[in-house]
Structure 1
Amino acid sequence: MAESKQYTFKWNKEQTEAFIRHRVEHRHLFTGGRDTAANGYRTILAKMGVMGKVTHTQAKKKWDNLKTKYKECKCPASGQGTDDGKPTAATWPCCKVSLL
């Protein structure tokens, strides 16, 4: 039996920022209708030139993770200082690119 290697795409900072910009610019593609999100992510991945390296499902997961991280940075838990090294809205690079 042949071994199949799993390839995991590693997003760099520039690709992540481009992904955020494309997702925000193409928010009209994500209407909530059947398959609109999948087609929207496919469009974005094609524009970025990573189609075939990243699936629409992985792109959706990336977006969900970015939104979660953004919300954590924007509204940190009560009493949580900035001395623990966790990113804040001021320090996390992706917060500079508008998510919503």
Structure 2
Amino acid sequence: MAQAKDTHKWTPQETRRLINFRATRDNELFLEEMGMEGKVTRQQASKKWENLKKKYKDLRTPKTGVGD
């Protein structure tokens, strides 16, 4: 397996593909299938997924400024 770069700037298209893969594959990551093997590690993809979930939750329930 090729060595992944230290950092990779995710494109919107790659992000959408990650979401689609995660949604249809029961949370399994298939970087090879996505054509991203060598660009990112499984750990980086998992971190991206966790950040996306956090961002979604933050946007879904915005802080009111009262007691937050």
Q: TM-score with structure 1 length normalisation?
A: 0.56
Kindly indicate whether structure 1 or structure 2 has the higher relative contact order, using CA contacts under 8 Å at least 6 residues apart: 2
**Is 1:55 matched up with 2:41?**
yes
Q: Give runs of aligned pairs for residues 43-82 of structure 1, distance below 5 A.
A: 43=30, 45-79=31-65
Gaps of at least 5 residues in structure 1 are 1-5, 31-39, 81-100
Gaps of at least 5 residues in structure 2 are none
1:9: how far off? 1.1
1:79: how far off? 4.9
For the pair shown, the structure with the greater C-alpha radius of gyration is 1
- Residue matched to 2:16: 17
Q: Tell me the matched-pair count.
A: 62
SS where residue 14 of structure 1 aligns? helix
**Percent of counterpart pairs with the same letter?**
42
Q: Deviations over 1:22-55 (max 9, x none)?
A: 111011xx4xxxxxxxxx22x2x11110111110
Segments of 4+ moved more than 4 angstroms: none
| RMSD between superposed Cα atoms in Å | 1.7
SS where residue 8 of structure 2 aligns? coil
Q: TM-score with structure 2 length normalisation?
A: 0.80
